Amino acid sequence: MNNDLQERENWTSKLGFILAAAGSAVGLGNIWRFPYVTGENGGAAFLLIYLIAIILIGYPVMVAEMSLGRKTEKNPVGAFKNLAPDTPWWLVGALGVFTGFVILSYYSVIAGWSMAYIVQAANGFTSEMDFAGLFGGHISSVGEPLLWHATFMGITIGIISAGVVKGIQKAVKILMPILFILLVALVFRSVSLEGAGEGLAFYLAPDFSQLTWYSLNEAIAQAFFTLSLGMGAMITYGSYLSKDDNISDSAGYVLGLDTLIAVLSGFAIFPAVFALGLSPDAGPGLTFITLPAVFAEMPLGTLFGFLFFVLLTIAAITSAISLLEVVVAYMVDEHEWERKKAAQVVGIVIFLVGIPPLLGYSALSDFQFLGMDILDTYDWFANAIFLPLGGLLTAIFAGYVWGARNTADEANKAEGVLSVGNLFGVLIKYVVPVAIGTIMVVGIWQTLAG
């Protein structure tokens, strides 16, 4: 099939685009990662600097990515080629496509754990269970995690094969409202538990003595990951956006929805964790070890535990499709592959790339990189290097090469409530590059120094 003869698909409504982009943004990053990172960094004070990072760094980068995509109607590689032909800038797009590959491969493994826990929850969480043992046992087995990883990639491939409107847009229109309702139900359950107050205080009353320089780092890295920035996901989604949409507004909605869901996840988790006398700084195990212990103790815990892991899985699906879409759009645009074939071939390769991190808790547990297992190693490269580097170069490109003015004009093209202007120029040209450059150096140095 010759793609040149095909009209590029467009989201059929403003809402379709916002939900798709919000679906990309809202994921494991909000429900699994945000609460544990906040829990490890002292709660409320971290929440505050995270919100500042979202607005000052996340918003301008998101506007830049969406504008680049809509202007060029291309995948990340094509977008840079289009605006800066015969220069090496296309490599930034290529880094993005590569990063999508890496992130989805381990993202799917974690989403697989979440699916396994839907079944686990349905069988009931009871007080006498050893939840650390249960989780350790699951991830260090091979057959089950492999089956769920394959199932999750299968779902993701299925949706992307169906296309932008019939696949992505349809899926998010069904899944995002369900996600929201489930989350609100969990928040009500959590804050109405006896002893919830202490968790609310941890989450809402800032104690700045808990913050370190590293927290700043974590806040910015979290902002990038949760908003799906730094690898061209928003370039790709923006490329299907109609010229009648105002990007300054749309980015605002996506940012607002993503932040709302993250903040609500905190309200679902911290009150419950404190009500049961558990600690909020359990790290990545917060979702899979601490929460099941919470569900085991609370009234209707099995039902809410089941709903929680359904919620987590839904959030992961709507994010995973955006990661796969970046690579598929690249194959379709640049190599003229047919969409279905691209989704299947790329999806299977990503599944395979995910096998080493999956085996990092069993057959490959001897492998260590700077003290990290394979999954953490993939995650570290993505979050400490690839995403910030991609975001930094995208900001420089939008600010200086394409130009802050041109970027803003594209964003403001249609009538809207918000419109980006001079402040956007200052943020994209100076604040974003300096902030990201600093956290990259600090982050890499911290990790190397152990």
Binding site for ligand TRP (CB under 6 A): 24-25, 27-30, 103, 225-226, 228, 230-231, 233, 319, 322-323, 387
Kindly tell me the number of DSSP H helices and DSSP E strands found in the chain: 24, 0
Smallest gap, in angstroms, from Cβ of residue 236 to ligand TRP? 10
Smallest gap, in angstroms, from Cβ of residue 105 to ligand TRP? 13
Return the DSSP state at 369.
B
Smallest gap, in angstroms, from Cβ of residue 341 to ligand TRP? 22
Residue with token string 């998101």: 62
Residue with token string 């802050």: 404
Q: Distance between CA 342 and CA 349 in Å, rounded?
A: 11
Smallest gap, in angstroms, from Cβ of residue 222 to ligand TRP? 9
DSSP string, 258-284: HHHHHHHHHHHHHHHHHHTT--S--TT
Smallest gap, in angstroms, from Cβ of residue 390 to ligand TRP? 8
Q: Distance between CA 236 and CA 225 in Å, rounded?
A: 16
**Residue 301 or 390: which CB sits closer to ligand TRP?**
390
- Contact yes or no for 111/316 (Cβ under 8 A): yes
**Residue 24 or 156: which CB sits closer to ligand TRP?**
24
**Residue 61 or 289: which CB sits closer to ligand TRP?**
61
Smallest gap, in angstroms, from Cβ of residue 7 to ligand TRP? 26
Smallest gap, in angstroms, from Cβ of residue 159 to ligand TRP? 14
Q: Distance between CA 49 and CA 222 in Å, rounded?
A: 11
Q: Distance between CA 239 and CA 242 in Å, rounded?
A: 8
Residue closest to ligand TRP (Cβ): 29
**Residue 21 or 49: which CB sits closer to ligand TRP?**
21
**Residue 27 or 280: which CB sits closer to ligand TRP?**
27
71, two tokens: 């202007």
**Residue 101 or 203: which CB sits closer to ligand TRP?**
101
Q: Distance between CA 399 and CA 63 in Å, rounded?
A: 12
Smallest gap, in angstroms, from Cβ of residue 422 to ligand TRP? 28
- Neighbouring CB atoms inside 10 A of 82's CB total 15
**Residue 260 or 303: which CB sits closer to ligand TRP?**
260
Cα–Cα distances in angstroms (integers) from residue 148 to residues 122, 138, 153, 156, 355, in the given order: 16, 11, 8, 12, 12
In 3D space, the residue among 239, 243, 247, 251 whose CA is nearest the CA of residue 69 turns out to be: 239
b/e code 350-376 from CB counts within 10 Å (16+ = b): bbebbbbbbbbbeeeeeeeeeebbbbb
* 372 three-class SS: strand
Smallest gap, in angstroms, from Cβ of residue 34 to ligand TRP? 8
**Residue 21 or 404: which CB sits closer to ligand TRP?**
21
**Residue 250 or 412: which CB sits closer to ligand TRP?**
250
- Contact yes or no for 131/289 (Cβ under 8 A): yes
